[in-house]
């Protein structure tokens, strides 16, 4: 159980276009999802926290108009990279939180990641 | 603010030998600590976690980690390394009380030589 599907796994797009990445929790409801970005040989950097039915909370330095996050249902969050540039090329990973409440022993499940290349 | 440090960029070990991947953390409240493994171009796979209870935590694939509160450490260990253990390992921390964000260390690349 607790599977998170992330799609697409790889995408190549032209500069100036937009790309949408989907993150789905397949067998549980995820009230909260997280989007991370990973540069080569570096750690995961939290970009934003996405709560179902409300606006995402972005980390400092992340452009909310560039990285649009929508969490319209309990099983789907999307990240749209708008007007992509080569410097947006990266590995993007989502994570979904199972369970509710604060400080609880809830689990986090990660998607398999999306390799974005902007040419 | 919470933080995680993995002091080694890379760890090399011979197959069959014990391995240790180091992690220290800083968090204001009680820590929830995690280890994840990542293979090339893949997402993260959960190995183990410490929430409360026994300081020695056993996880997937024969890995274990020891929570040391006085040293604020959570080192990952395995008694006998396999070549297939070669991967990138991330330590992560989440503040236990009301914490939502998981903060990751920089990662340690493990090479196991046959």
- For chain A positions 77-116, those within 8 Å of chain B (CB to CB) are 91, 93, 95, 97, 102-103, 105, 107-113, 115
* Chain B residue with Cα closest to A102: B98
pLDDT value of residue A104: 43
* Residues on chain B touching A103 (C-beta within 8 angstroms): 96-99
Residues A10-49 pLDDT 10s: 999 999 999 999 999 998 888 889 999 988 777 889 999 9
pLDDT value of residue B62: 94
Beta bridge partners of B75: B66
**Given a cut of 60, is residue B98 above it in pLDDT?**
no
pLDDT value of residue A103: 46
* Residues on chain B touching A36 (C-beta within 8 angstroms): 104
**Given a cut of 90, is residue B15 above it in pLDDT?**
yes
DSSP symbol at A2: -
Tokens 């006085």 -> residue: B70
Q: Kindly report the nearest CA distance between residue B71 and chain A, in angstroms.
A: 23
Distance (Å) of CA A93 to CA B22, B39, B104: 24, 13, 13
Chain-wide mean pLDDT for chain A? 88
Q: Residues A57-68: what's their mean pLDDT? A: 93
Neighbours of B64 (CB within 10 A): 16
Q: Kindly report the nearest CA distance between residue A15 and chain B, in angstroms.
A: 22
The percentage of chain B sitting over the pLDDT mark of 70, rounded to a whole number, equals: 96
Question: Do A84 and A64 form a contact (C-beta atoms < 8 A)?
Answer: no
CA-derived radius of gyration, chain A: 14
How many residues are listed for chain B in this entry?
114
Neighbours of B75 (CB within 10 A): 18
CA-derived radius of gyration, chain B: 13
* Chain A residue with Cα closest to B50: A105
User: Do the Cβ atoms of B43 and A6 come within 8 Å?
Assistant: yes
Chain B residue set in contact with A, beta carbons under 8 Å: 32, 36, 41-46, 51, 90, 96-107
pLDDT value of residue B44: 83
């Amino acid at each position: 159980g607790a599977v998170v599907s992330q799609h697409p796994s790889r995408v190549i797009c032209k500069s100036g276009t937009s790309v949408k990445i989907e993150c789905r929790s397949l067998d549980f409801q995820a009230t909260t999802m997280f989007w991370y970005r990973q540069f080569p040989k570096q750690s995961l950097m939290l970009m934003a926290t996405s709560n179902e039915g409300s606006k995402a909370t972005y980390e400092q330095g992340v452009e909310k108009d560039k990285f649009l996050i929508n969490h319209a249902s309990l099983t789907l969050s999307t990240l749209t990279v708008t007007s992509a540039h080569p410097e947006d090329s990266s590995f993007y990973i989502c994570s979904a939180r199972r369970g509710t409440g604060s400080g609880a022993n809830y689990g986090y499940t990660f998607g398999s990641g999306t390799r974005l290349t902007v040419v | 603010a919470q933080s995680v440090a993995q002091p080694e960029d890379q760890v090399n070990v011979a197959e069959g030998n014990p391995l240790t991947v180091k992690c220290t953390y800083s968090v204001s409240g009680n820590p929830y600590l995690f280890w994840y493994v990542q293979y090339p171009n893949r997402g993260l796979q959960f190995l183990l976690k410490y929430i409360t209870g026994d300081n020695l935590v056993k996880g997937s694939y024969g890995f274990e980690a020891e929570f040391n509160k006085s040293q604020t450490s959570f080192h990952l260990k395995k008694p006998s390394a396999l070549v297939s253990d070669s991967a990138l390992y991330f330590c992560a921390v989440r503040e236990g009380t009301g914490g939502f964000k998981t903060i990751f260390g920089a990662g340690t690349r493990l090479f196991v030589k046959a």
